[in-house]
Chain A
Amino acid sequence: NAGVTQTPKFQVLKTGQSMTLQCAQDMNHNSMYWYRQDPGMGLRLIYYSASEGTTDKGEVPNGYNVSRLNKREFSLRLESAAPSQTSVYFCASTENRDLYEQYFGPGTRLTVT
């Protein structure tokens, strides 16, 4: 099992450019999440998908869109990148029952100049 995988690992964008961060999990989990991690701010939830076909906003959704492509994949899109979106982005997943233990991917380090 690869667990949760994310691509790319690193990315540098210019202000106004767009890009999509990809996430996939092979644990047959129902719920998937996108977080960002910033120094002094901790981890904050951007969007989540409780099940295939549904998405909901988290704490900091502005400037982002998501797509739950199928049960395995959950992508995060930045339509017009801004320097404030410089961060480390983590994808996570969990099964929707019992423990709700979340499993994280290795992260994407994004710099917007």
Chain B
Amino acid sequence: KQEVTQIPAALSVPEGENLVLNCSFTDSAIYNLQWFRQDPGKGLTSLLLIQSSQREQTSGRLNASLDKSSGRSTLYIAASQPGDSATYLCAKPAGGSNYKLTFGKGTLLTVNP
């Protein structure tokens, strides 16, 4: 079964720190990889999607990279703020089809003022 693993499960940092969230997957033949944010009691919000032909994607203070050969993706958050506190999930296509996604269990990020 294809798996997506996110480490760490939880992370607490002081405001202003730069941080990296990790996502690893067992199937290197991926198509796209998507990062989501989930606030407590809310749905998932798409942050970044990296196409398989790309190595990274940036949006504001967020940068996501993709290394298919090692089966890893990282989400870099620069100058973290308390408003960044949320659960971050990565997801990749399941079974080589873009129709279905397999999700990691997420990293719960707390940014302390």
Name A residues whose Cβ lies closer than 8 Å to a Cβ of B: 4, 31, 33, 40-43, 45, 48, 50, 58, 90, 92, 96, 99-107, 109
B5 CB to nearest chain A CB (Å): 11
B34 CB to nearest chain A CB (Å): 6
B21 CB to nearest chain A CB (Å): 15
Bound state CA distance, A43 and B102, in angstroms? 8
Chain A residues with Cβ below 8 Å from B101 are: 45, 102
- Per DSSP, are chain B's interface residues mostly helix, strand or loop, or mixed? strand
Partner of B99, one of A50, A90, A106: A50
Name B residues whose Cβ lies closer than 8 Å to a Cβ of A: 31-32, 34, 36, 41-46, 49, 51, 89, 91, 93-94, 98-101, 103-106
The residue on A at minimum CB distance from B106 is A42
- Check A100 against B98 for contact (C-beta < 8 Å): yes
- Check B44 against A42 for contact (C-beta < 8 Å): no
Chain A residues with Cβ below 8 Å from B41 are: 107, 109
